[in-house]
């Protein structure tokens, strides 16, 4: 734009000089045109009359061209100025209306009570179970509650599988209410393919961003220390590894690392305060809970997703029980992580259990090609101590972990091999951990027997 002003000025000056010189020539031609001796302006120019005429015509043409170019550049400058002004006005208009309101008014919450950071894990689990039963008429077994809380300690992605009507969606929803923040339920659609289906999209016609509940919750989570629960309802009705791919990668990064998810391709001055170059941090106080059904309308969840998640099966409804009236327990995310850390220190995995897991891992690898792997072992180091701190036994924790993280993969193996090896695996499990100790795993293995098929 500055160059346009410079060019316009230079052309205007040149056009003015050409005009002056052309006027001098015209005056020279109009005076004493028939006299033999030179007088007037011709006396100074000392040019023949034909030459003066030609030069005058050329100068007039140049003058007209300069004026035309100056006018064109002036019009271009005016249009550019208007475009810049429109762009400035556009950049001043916030395109994230809901996030702008959050910046202005704060995140808000369901429960304004102070954090209850004196509660322990065992008390926290019992309180959650009683709250779900007394306040929401939802009944879950102690094992489910312990597995859910212990699962939060080893990953930020929980998958609840099972038949319809067993309370898969209700469990994380009740948990969100119990910790005072509530849970956002995002129904997954079959057409979902990328992160825009989760976070929203930019509308060029309205110059605004369509913000989803998930985007708003992620933004609020950056402003508080509350526990945020995001429910991906029927997550496998679309391919999880497509629309959730970026989150899967970010959740693998260690906590404390800058885990930022891209929301927009550009940045504006009016964008929300927590945005940096169009990206928003994925905070560590957010846990994703997906519900999955296994029927003809859904996709199989890939091993890539299963390995990064903790799976809990809900295949039956628990019996009703009398629960005392229990209020909410608003615990901070920092306190919950401190409890997880304390549990790992107070209830470390026993060496006998480590050796047993290693022996079973070697047996499964040699006979059916299954292995615990480094990621599962890291999860075990956290899951087992926290499960114990929640009031469970170590062998129960190993049973849940073995059943839900390793043995489920046998469904995808050759059924002939599984049928041939199931009795040997059962004997090995009972020899290492004791008969009847890992009853969930043994019950699962028995379904591969020839008389059970």
List % helix, strand, coil for the chain (3-state, nearest 5): 55, 10, 35
For residue 90, give both structure tokens: 């556009």
pLDDT at 114: 76
Q: What mean pLDDT comes out for the span 181-209? A: 91
pLDDT tens sequence across 21-46: 666 656 555 554 444 444 444 444 55
Whether this prediction's pTM lies above 0.85 is answered by: no
- CA dist 389 and 125 (Å) reads 10
Name the residue among 353, 379, 373, 350 with its Cα closest to residue 361. Answer: 373
pLDDT at 443: 93
Cα-based torsion angle of the residue sequence 291, 296, 301, 303 in order, rounded to the nearest 10 degrees: 140
Q: What is the chain's Cα-based Rg?
A: 38
pLDDT at 169: 93
pLDDT tens sequence across 301-359: 888 898 899 999 888 778 888 889 888 888 999 999 999 999 999 999 999 999 999 99
pLDDT > 70: percent of the chain: 80
pLDDT confidence bin for 57, thresholds 50/70/90? confident
pLDDT at 70: 65
Name the residue among 444, 355, 372 with its Cα closest to residue 406. Answer: 372
Task: Please enumerate in sequence order all residues whose Cβ is within 8 A of that of 150, keeping only pairs 6 or more positions apart, or say none.
Answer: 382, 383, 384, 386, 387, 390, 392, 397
- CA dist 7 and 13 (Å) reads 10
pLDDT tens sequence across 87-129: 544 556 789 999 999 999 888 765 566 787 788 999 999 999 9
pLDDT confidence bin for 82, thresholds 50/70/90? low
- CA dist 350 and 388 (Å) reads 12
pLDDT confidence bin for 18, thresholds 50/70/90? low
pLDDT tens sequence across 399-448: 999 999 899 888 888 889 999 999 999 999 999 999 999 999 999 999 98
Q: What is the mean pLDDT of the chain?
A: 84
Distances (CA, A) of 425 to 372, 429, 446: 15, 6, 10
Q: 390 pLDDT exceeds 50?
A: yes
Per the DSSP assignment, residues forming a β-bridge with 310 are: 158
């Amino acid at each position: 734009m500055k160059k346009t002003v410079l060019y316009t000025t230079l052309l205007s000056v040149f056009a003015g000089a050409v005009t002056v010189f052309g006027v001098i020539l015209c005056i020279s031609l109009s005076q004493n045109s028939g006299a033999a001796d030179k007088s007037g302006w011709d006396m100074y120019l000392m040019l023949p009359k034909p030459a003066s005429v030609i030069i005058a015509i050329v100068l007039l043409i140049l003058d007209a061209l300069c004026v035309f170019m100056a006018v064109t550049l002036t019009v271009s400058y005016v249009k550019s100025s208007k475009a810049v002004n429109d762009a400035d006005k556009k950049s001043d208009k916030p395109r994230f209306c809901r996030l702008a309101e959050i910046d202005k008014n704060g995140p808000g919450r369901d429960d304004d009570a102070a954090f209850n950071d004196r509660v322990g894990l065992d008390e926290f689990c019992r309180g959650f179970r009683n709250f779900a039963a007394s306040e929401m008429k939802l009944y879950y077994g102690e094992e489910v509650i312990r597995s859910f809380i212990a699962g939060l300690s080893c990953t930020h992605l929980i998958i609840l599988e099972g038949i319809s009507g067993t309370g898969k969606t209700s469990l994380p929803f009740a948990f969100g209410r119990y910790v005072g923040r509530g849970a956002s339920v995002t129904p997954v659609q079959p057409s979902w393919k990328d992160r825009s289906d989760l976070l929203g999209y930019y509308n060029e016609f309205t110059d605004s961003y369509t913000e989803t509940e998930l985007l708003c919750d992620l933004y609020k989570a950056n402003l508080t220390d509350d526990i945020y629960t995001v429910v991906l309802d029927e997550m496998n009705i679309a391919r999880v590894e497509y629309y959730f791919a970026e989150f899967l990668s970010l959740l693998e990064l260690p906590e404390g690392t800058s885990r930022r998810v891209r929301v927009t391709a550009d940045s504006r001055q009016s964008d929300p305060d927590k945005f940096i170059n169009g990206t928003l941090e994925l905070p560590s106080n957010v846990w994703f809970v997906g519900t999955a059904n296994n029927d003809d309308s859904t996709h199989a969840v890939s091993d890539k997703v299963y390995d990064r998640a903790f799976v809990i099966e809900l295949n039956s409804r628990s019996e009703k029980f009398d629960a005392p009236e229990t209020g909410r327990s608003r615990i901070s995310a920092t306190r919950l992580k401190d409890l997880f850390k304390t549990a790992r220190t107070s209830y470390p995995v026993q060496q006998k259990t480590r050796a047993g897991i290693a022996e079973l891992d070697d047996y499964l690898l040699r006979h059916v090609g299954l292995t615990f792997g480094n990621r599962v072992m890291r999860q075990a180091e956290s899951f087992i101590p926290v499960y114990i701190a929640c009031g469970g036994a170590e062998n129960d924790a190993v049973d849940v972990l073995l059943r839900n993280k390793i043995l489920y993969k046998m469904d995808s193996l050759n059924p002939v091999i599984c049928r041939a090896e199931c009795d040997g695996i059962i004997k090995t499990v009972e020899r290492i951990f004791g008969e009847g100790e890992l009853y969930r795993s043994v019950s699962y293995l028995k379904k591969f027997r020839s008389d059970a098929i």
